[in-house]
Structure 1
Amino acid sequence: MPLPRRTLLHTAALLAAAGATGAATTTAAAATGHGRIPHHAISIQLYTLRAQLDEDVAATLRQVADIGYRSVETAGTHGLTTAEFRTILDDLGLRATSGHSDLEGDVDALIEDAHTLGHRHLVVPHAEFDTADGWRAFADRLNEAGSKCRDAGLRFGYHNHDHEFAPIDGVLPYDILRRRTDRRLVHFELDLYWAVHAGQDVLALIDAERDRIRQLHVKDRTPSGDMADPGTGTMDFPEIFDHARAHEFIVEHDNPTDALNTARVGYDYLRKVRW
């Protein structure tokens, strides 16, 4: 019969006080269900700061680093070459662990840019088609690109909005992508706001594809349905994070009123959140 939570917490405290081994302490922490996001797993999608980056890349990235971020997800290089952008990141102690790129260009060139920027993940940020066949053909293209990325040492994924959860020809585009793409080649970057905005149960989405949902876009939602900074709205992030097996937790706001404040609020929330 499971021990009461209070008993487990008391046991963990006694182990720590007695100088128990690291393995025993880890086991006790796991038993109580405690979790937190490692510092290196907190990132920000730089699309949030696109207006500031268009004005001054170096100054904006310095502010991101000063907030405490060590990882970012790119969405273009704002007039700089990939090498120039990487130099600024390196000087500030930032890593562009992930990047958004569409499939309109040559995949080999995208991979080369990803390597220059230091990406581990390359993610398609958006696609939209009027027919189920269009989505099926797109899924096949994702597989092809994913195969090339795997050979190049990159993980390849797709980022959702809300329209993937609206039926087309009697089927959800998201389901087409889930079923037609190869799980060894294509993962999902689940945008939590857009999934909830589309009426989806994100816990059920995670249950269906837990091992494939490697990245989470963390953006909150007001009671009226507007986008909000992480931790300031109605989303139950602790429950979601406890459910997921994500490797990156990425702050984002599509249209922030104060982008740097969004970056700061999101970072502080992800550093402090526990479950």
Structure 2
Amino acid sequence: MPRPLSVQLYSVRNQLAADRDGTLARLAGMGFGAVEPFDVLTDPQGLRSRLDDLGLAVSGVHVRQLVDPGHDPDRVLDAVALLGATDAIVPAGIPHEDFTGRDGLARAAALLNRLSARAAERGLRLGYHNHWWEIEPRLGGLHAIEVLADLLDPAVFLEIDTYWAAVGGAEVPGLLRRLGDRVRALHIKDGPGVKGEPNVAVGGGTMPVPEILAAAPDAWRIVEFDACAGDPFAELAASRAYVSALEAA
């Protein structure tokens, strides 16, 4: 059975803050079958209960807190498990400069490998999610994220943000093919492809979405907006319709 299309809840962060339960119900009503939470420490039990009521799966959880020394990693991982997720994904928090040279990449990989072993004790998998700064630096002709992948324990997977990869200068389908089965999840988004500009509905910008999906056929698809040029619910609905039509073709 194919995995349901997911949405990163950061896309509707303001709406969640105002009305969590209503926002989740609205996403379920659009046809999304899964969500990717980003605030794992705020009421994980209540969130799971609401998701269960709506029939929404959890595709994974963003856990920047794992690399924040102000948070207890065990508490963070326990919250991920409480949500019923299997994938804990670090979306940022490692210094940008660590991706500009091999010593920094070795430090980043060592940190992620340690966290992966800790996650595995709870039956969880650890992943890493890119922005532009893991793509833009090149070492020996490779994007920094590719060098990092070679240094990571095979248990650590990648969630490739396809839009940020393009902004960082990657030819995204080719990057996905080179990374192969290290890529377990994709953030699908669209826009003008430049820093500082808002996202638009998937299919309405510059991203070669059909080619991207074809390059990583087994990766979980998660729609996300960092910032949205229009009404986020309308743009998410349009994105869901577009991606679903491509997958059905």
Q: Is the 8 A contact 1:216 1:246 kept in 2?
A: no
Are 2:38 and 1:59 equivalent residues in the alignment? no
Give the 3-state SS of the residue equivalent to 2:218 in structure 1. Answer: coil
- Letter paired with 2:181: D
Give the 3-state SS of the residue equivalent to 1:209 in structure 2. Answer: helix
Are 2:80 and 1:114 equivalent residues in the alignment? yes
Residue 266 of structure 1 is matched in structure 2 by 239
Are 2:99 and 1:99 equivalent residues in the alignment? no
Alpha-carbon distance, 1:172 to partner = 4.9
Distance of 1:57 and 1:166 partners within structure 2? 36
Range that drifts further, 260-269 or 53-62: 260-269
Alpha-carbon distance, 1:200 to partner = 0.6
Which residues in structure 2 correspond to 1:175-190 (within 5 Å)?
Answer: 175-183=146-154, 185-190=155-160
Alpha-carbon distance, 1:249 to partner = 0.2
Residue 141 of structure 1 is matched in structure 2 by 111
Distance of 1:65 and 1:223 partners within structure 2? 29
> Given the superposition, is the C-alpha separation of residues 148 and 259 from structure 1 closer, same or farther in structure 2, using an over 3 Å criterion?
same
TM-score, reference length from structure 1: 0.78
Distance of 1:169 and 1:266 partners within structure 2? 35
- Letter paired with 1:175: E
Residue 163 of structure 2 is matched in structure 1 by 193
Q: Is the 8 A contact 2:191 2:206 kept in 1?
A: yes
Residue 8 of structure 1 is matched in structure 2 by none
Residue 216 of structure 1 is matched in structure 2 by 186
Residue 151 of structure 1 is matched in structure 2 by 121
Range that drifts further, 110-119 or 123-132: 123-132
Give the 3-state SS of the residue equivalent to 2:96 in structure 1. Answer: coil
Residue 11 of structure 2 is matched in structure 1 by 48
TM-score, reference length from structure 2: 0.86
Q: Is the 8 A contact 2:167 2:193 kept in 1?
A: no
Aligned alpha-carbon RMSD (Å): 2.3
Residue 238 of structure 1 is matched in structure 2 by 210
| Identity level (%) | 33
- Letter paired with 1:262: E
Give the 3-state SS of the residue equivalent to 2:185 in structure 1. Answer: strand
Residue 202 of structure 1 is matched in structure 2 by 172
Alpha-carbon distance, 1:144 to partner = 1.0
Residue 74 of structure 1 is matched in structure 2 by 37
1:109-135 CA distance string (max 9 Å, x none): 222111111112110011333243333
Alpha-carbon distance, 1:83 to partner = 0.6
Give the 3-state SS of the residue equivalent to 2:45 in structure 1. Answer: helix
Unpaired runs of 5+ residues, structure 2, are: none
1:156-193 CA distance string (max 9 Å, x none): 1111011112338988532341121112x211101111
- Letter paired with 1:273: L
- Letter paired with 1:154: L
- Letter paired with 1:128: P
1:207-243 CA distance string (max 9 Å, x none): 2211011100000133777432211122222122112
Q: Is the 8 A contact 2:190 2:207 kept in 1?
A: yes
Q: Is the 8 A contact 1:44 1:252 kept in 2?
A: yes
Structure 1: which 4+ aligned runs deviate by more than 6 Å? 168-171
Give the 3-state SS of the residue equivalent to 2:59 in structure 1. Answer: strand
Give the 3-state SS of the residue equivalent to 2:110 in structure 1. Answer: helix
- Letter paired with 2:214: D
Give the 3-state SS of the residue equivalent to 2:75 in structure 1. Answer: helix
